[in-house]
């Protein structure tokens, strides 16, 4: 069992929230299709490219955090502030990759519902996950986190 006293105690695990957003967007599109791209746009290729870039960002962030010796899952304690790799540019590269992944899927499937779900997903991640993580990291690491926080942007 994870030690929940030393975690951010997020409202929902981000991969679960992402999966629910994808499932909801695909289901709604099946019920009421909402295409949004002109037929001349190579949606499958463009969306796949965005999705692959998003996946690469997520993998890079996870590998970087794991190599630093910190836990990736939100229900495990954070052991260190990671400041290299994609964490030099954004404090939340995994979530940014998840956002881009939803955009890529929305484009690839020409599915406006996925982009609508993206808005809801961003709100949930920002307020139910990131806000809690930031407060947790500030409590746990104090000034070292505050310096990192002031130097690196939340998203880009």
Task: Tell whether 22 is covered by a domain.
Answer: no
Residue 37 lies in a domain: no
Residue 64 lies in a domain: yes
pLDDT digits (tens, 9 = 90+) for 75-115: 999 999 999 999 999 999 999 999 999 999 999 999 999 99
Say what the pTM is: 0.94
Cα atoms in the Cβ-side hemisphere of radius 13 Å centred on 123? 6
pLDDT in tens, 50-77: 999 999 999 999 999 999 999 999 999 9
Number of domains the chain contains? 1
Give a yes or no: residue 94 inside a domain.
Answer: yes
Best CA proximity match to 75, nearest among 21, 132, 122, 37? 132
Cα separation, 128 vs 153, in Å, equals 18
């Amino acid at each position: 069992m994870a030690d929940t006293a030393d975690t951010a105690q997020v409202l929902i695990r981000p991969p679960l929230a992402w999966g629910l957003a994808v499932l909801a967007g695909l289901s709604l599109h099946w019920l009421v299709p909402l295409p949004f791209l002109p037929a001349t746009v190579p949606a499958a290729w463009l969306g796949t490219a965005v999705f692959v870039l998003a996946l690469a960002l997520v993998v890079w962030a996870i590998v970087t955090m794991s190599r630093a010796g910190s836990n990736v899952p939100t229900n495990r304690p954070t052991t260190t502030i990671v400041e290299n790799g994609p964490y030099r540019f954004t404090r939340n590269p995994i979530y940014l990759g998840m956002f881009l992944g939803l955009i890529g899927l929305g484009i690839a499937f020409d599915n406006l519902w996925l982009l609508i779900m993206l808005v809801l997903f961003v709100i949930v991640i920002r307020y139910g996950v990131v806000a809690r993580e930031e407060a947790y990291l500030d409590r746990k690491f104090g000034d070292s986190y505050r310096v990192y926080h002031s130097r690196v942007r939340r998203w880009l």
